[in-house]
Structure 1
Amino acid sequence: MTTKQNNYCVILAGGKGRRLWPCSRDKHPKQFIDFFGVGRTQLQQTFDRFAQVLPKENIYINTSCDYLDLIREQLPEVSSDRIMAEPIHRNTAPSVAWAVHRIMMFDPKANIIVSPSDQTIVNDNAFFRNITDGLQFVENNDAILTMGVSPTRPEPGYGYIQKGVYTGNGDIYKVQAFTEKPDRQFAQMFMDSKEWCWNTGLFLSNTNYLRQCLYGFLPSVIRDEESGEKITTIEEEEAFIRENFPRYPNISLDHGILEKSDNVYVMKCDFGWADLGTWHGVYESLSKREGDNVIIDSDVILEDATNNIIKLSKDKLGVINGLDGYIIAEKDNVLLICKKEDSSALVRKYVNEVQIKKGDEFV
C-alpha cells in the first residue's frame, strides 16, 4: 500500500483500563494484555494495523511513565524518541497537544491520526481505505475529522456523533452534535434516526490546524511558544513536560476541542468497529456460544447459564450454574461476579470501593 511520508499516527496507550477490572489492573491495564489469547496484545494489534498504512517510524506512542517498560517490551521496534511518557496521568487533550508538538519538531506539515489502543477493527481493507481518504481530506482542509460507524445496537456505553450538512466529499458530513453515553432509550432513538454514528475515538487533522485549536481552547497546554521559549530538541521538550505537565487541565479532547471547534467533521465509515473498553461492549462485539454466552480464552462447564461473559485465568476451571446476564471475571487475587447490563458504572464503583477498603494491591 502506498504511504505518504508526512502522515503520522499517535496511539494513546496511557489509560488505566479500570472498566475491564479485574482482568485489567492498574499495573498491567487492558492495552498491554492479550485479552483474547490471539498472541498479540491490544496495543500490538493497533500498532500492526497502522504499520500497514504508515511507515513504522511515523507511529508514535503516548503513555504514562508507569507503563514505559511495558511499551519497550511489547514494541521494541519503536525508538525512544517516538514514545512520549507522561509524568502524571492526564486526559487526552494534553496528550494530543504534546504529540502535535513532538511531531511538528520533525515535520511542520504533518497530518496526524489519533487512535485509541483498545479497539477491534473488523475489516482492515475498509479501514485502510477510510484512513487514506480521511488523510487526504485533512491535508486539503483545516478541519478535525472524526471517524464514525453506524450503530448496530442501542449501546448506552458509547459516544454518539450527529451528522449535519453533507460536504459533497465522500461520506463526510459537518458535525451537528456530540452526545456522550446516552441512556438506552435515547440510544435507540439515535440508532433509529440514521442521523447518528458511534464515536470511535479515531480522529484526523493536519497538525497546523490542530495546534491552532489547542492554543485557542487550551492555552495552558503548551506554553513554550506563548512564552517565547523555543524548544528545538527532545531533551528540552521532555524537561519542559516534566516541569509543566502536572499543571495541565485534566480534560478530554472531545470536551476540550471537538465540542468547541467550528470545523469538526465526521466520516461515516464501514470498517466494522467495537470499543473493547467495557465488559458489556466486549460481550456485544463477540460471537456468542450456546446460551448466548461469551467465553474468552477460558475453560468452563456451563449448565442453565445464559447471556454471560466469562474470562478466567489460564489455570482455572469454572463451573457455572443458574446465572443469566452476568460478568464472571477472575484475575490473580480478585473474582468479580456482577450483572452485565450497563455495568460500566458498577465496575467503576467497585474498583473505587475496593481501593478504599482493601488497598491498591486489588486494583
Structure 2
Amino acid sequence: MSSNDFYAIIPAGGVGTRLWPLSRRNRPKFLYDLLGSGQTLIQSTYERLARVCGEEHVVVSTGEAHVDSVREQLPSLREDGIFAEPVARDSTAAIALATAVLARRHGSRIVVGSFAADHVIRDNDAFAECVRQAAAAARHGYITTIGIAASRPSTAFGYIHQGHSLAGEIPDAPSARIVRSFVEKPDSSTAQAYLQTGEYRWNAGMFVMRADVLLDSLKQYQPDLFSAISAIADAWDQGEECRKQALRQHWYGLEKIAFDYAIAEPLSADGGVAVVPGGFGWDDIGDFNSLAALLPSYNRQNIKILGNQDDVVFLDSAGDIVAAQAGRTVALLGVDDMVVIDTPDALLVAPRARSQEVKNMVTKLSGLGRDAVL
C-alpha cells in the first residue's frame, strides 16, 4: 500500500491486570517477550506496522512511566514519535491526541490507524492487505475497523455486527462492509447464536480513519474532550514547557472513555463505520489461559512453561501453566489445570478456568494496601 498519507499509532497503555504478577503497573505486558519469540509484544507490533508504512510513520502513545522502556525497546522510533500521557485517560484520549498532533504536522486528511501494542498476529502479509483495504475505506470517509473471524463463541470479546457490502462504493476495498452495530461481551448462548448467523466478528479495537473524520466525530459526540485535545495538540510542538502547561491544564480532567463507546458506537448508528474482515491469525493475550493456548506444550501432559524449563518439576500433574524464578525450583505434585506464577515479590496460584478473575485479586490487593506488588 502507499504509505505517503498513512500513519500508525500504537496505544501502549493498560496494566494487563489479568496477567499479574508478570504484568505490573511499572512494566506492563507489552514490554515482555511472553511467547519466547525473541521480541517483546510492542517490538513485534512496531516491526509489523513499519513494514506497512515505514518507521518514520509509526508513533507510540504510552504513559510517562514507560517512555524510557519504550525508547530502549524501539531505538528506531522517531524522536517526536512518542506521546507521553501523565495519567491514563483510556483509548479515546490517546488516539485523539496523537491524531490531532499528526494532523497539525502533516495535514488533516492523512489516514491514521490505531493498533494495540499487545496483540499477536501470525500472518503479517494478510494483516497488511487488511490495513490497505481499511485505509481505502477510510479515504472514502468511513471510520473503519478490522473484524476478526470468530472461531469460537467467546464471551471475552465484544462483537461487530456487519451489514451489506461496500465493494460497489469502494472498489479498492472489496472486502469492506458496513457496520450495523457494536455489541458488548455476550453470554455464552448469545455468543453461540452470533456465530450461527455468520454476521458477527470479534472486535479487536483496530481502527483506521482520516484524521479530519475522527476529529469531526469527536467534536460531534464528545465536544468537551475535543476542545481539550485541540488545546493540547496546539501546544504540543511549541516546546516542552508549553506542552507541559497544556497537559496540566487540560489532560487530567479528560473523561476516561474507550474509543468504541465514544466514537465507533454512535457513528455506526449513523452509518459511518465500515469493517474489513481480518483473516490473519489474531490473538489477544488477555489472561493466562489465552497465553497458555499460544505456548508449546512442555510434555504430553500439556504443561506450559514460561521462562526456564529446568526450574519446573512435575509429578502426576497436567494442563498447568507455570512461570518460575531463575534459580528457584517450582515443584508440582498432583496439580492439574492450574496457573502458578512465581516472581521475586509475589506468587499467584489459581485454576486456569478462573484466569479472567485474576483482575479481581489485583483489586483486592489494592484494597488491602498491597500496591507495592502491583
TM-score (structure 2 length as normaliser): 0.89
Cα separation, 2, equivalents of 1:252 and 1:272: 24
Please tell me the root mean square deviation across aligned C-alpha atoms, in Å.
2.1
Equivalent pairs counted in the alignment come to 359
The 5 A counterparts of 1:180-219 are 180-219=184-223
Distance 1:162 1:284, change over 3 A: farther
Distance 2:159 2:292 in 1: 19
Residues 224, 231 of structure 1: 8 Å contact kept: no
Residue 105 of structure 1 aligns with which residue? 104
Q: Which moved more, 1:212-221 or 1:333-342?
A: 333-342
Is 2:215–2:226's contact at 8 Å kept on the other side of the alignment? no
Which runs of 5 or more residues in structure 2 are unaligned?
168-172
Write the letter of the residue equivalent to 2:316.
D
CA distance in 1, matches of 2:130, 2:199: 19
1:13 aligns with 12
SS in 2 for 1:106: helix
Q: Hey, what does 1:353 align to over in structure 2?
A: 364
- Per the alignment, residue 334 of structure 2 pairs with 322
1:62-101 correspondence to structure 2 within 5 Å: 62-101=61-100
SS of 1:268 mapped into structure 2 = strand
| Cα distance, 1:189–1:326 mapped onto 2, change above 3 Å | farther
Show the counterpart of 1:115. 115
Per-residue CA shift, 1:29-77, capped at 9, x if unaligned?
Answer: 1011122233221111111111111121111100011111112221222
Tell me how far apart the structure 2 counterparts of residues 225 and 188 of structure 1 sit (CA, whole Å). 40
- CA deviation vs aligned residue, 1:89-130 (integer Å, no higher than 9, x gap): 111011111011110011112101101000110111111111
1:1-363 matched pairs, under 5 angstroms: 3-108=2-107, 109-139=109-139, 141-168=140-167, 169-223=173-227, 231=235, 233-235=237-239, 236-261=242-267, 262=270, 263-289=272-298, 290-299=300-309, 300-344=312-356, 346-363=357-374
The 3 A distance-change label for structure 1 pair 315 and 119 is farther
One-letter code aligned to 2:334: G
Q: Distance in 2 between matches of 1:294 and 1:330?
A: 14
* Cα-to-partner distance string for 1:109-160 (whole Å, 9 max, x where unaligned): 2101101000110111111111112112212x11111111112222221221
Q: Which amino acid aligns with 2:214?
A: L
Give, as a single letter, the amino acid of the residue that structure 1 aligns with 2:23: S
Separation (CA, whole Å) in 1 of partners of 2:151 and 2:318: 21
**Greater fraction helix:** 2
Instruction: Check conservation: 1:157, 1:342, Cα contact below 8 A.
Output: no
Q: What letter corresponds to residue 295 of structure 1 in structure 2?
A: I
Conservation of the 8 A alpha-carbon contact between 2:133 and 2:176:
no
CA distance in 1, matches of 2:176, 2:101: 29
User: What is the rounded CA distance, in whole Å, between the counterparts of 2:88 and 2:150 in structure 1?
Assistant: 31
User: Counterpart of 1:84 in 2: which secondary structure?
Assistant: strand
1:187-219 deviations in Å (ceiling 9; x for gaps): 222233322111111110011101111111111
Cα deviation, residue 314, structure 1: 3.4
SS of 2:36's partner is coil
Inter-CA distance 314–46: structure 2 relative to 1 (3 Å threshold):
farther
Deviates more, 1:243-252 or 1:276-285: 276-285
SS in 2 for 1:260: helix
Give the counterpart letter for 2:249 in structure 1: E
Which is worse superposed, 20-29 or 277-286? 277-286
Residue 163 of structure 2: SS of its match in structure 1?
strand
- Displacement of 1:355 in angstroms is 2.1
Mark the CA change 1:355 to 1:330 in structure 2 (over 3 Å): closer, same or farther: same
Q: Deviations over 1:231-282 (max 9, x none)?
A: 5834345532232011110000011111110211111111010001222222
1:254 partner amino acid: D
Counterparts of 1:222 and 1:159, CA distance in 2: 26
Gaps of 5+ in 1: none
Counterparts of 2:197 and 2:247, CA distance in 1: 45
Moved more, 21-30 or 262-271: 262-271
One-letter amino acid matched to 2:331: V
Tell me the distance in 1 between the aligned counterparts of 2:156 and 2:371: 26
Report the CA distance between 1:9 and its aligned residue.
Answer: 0.5
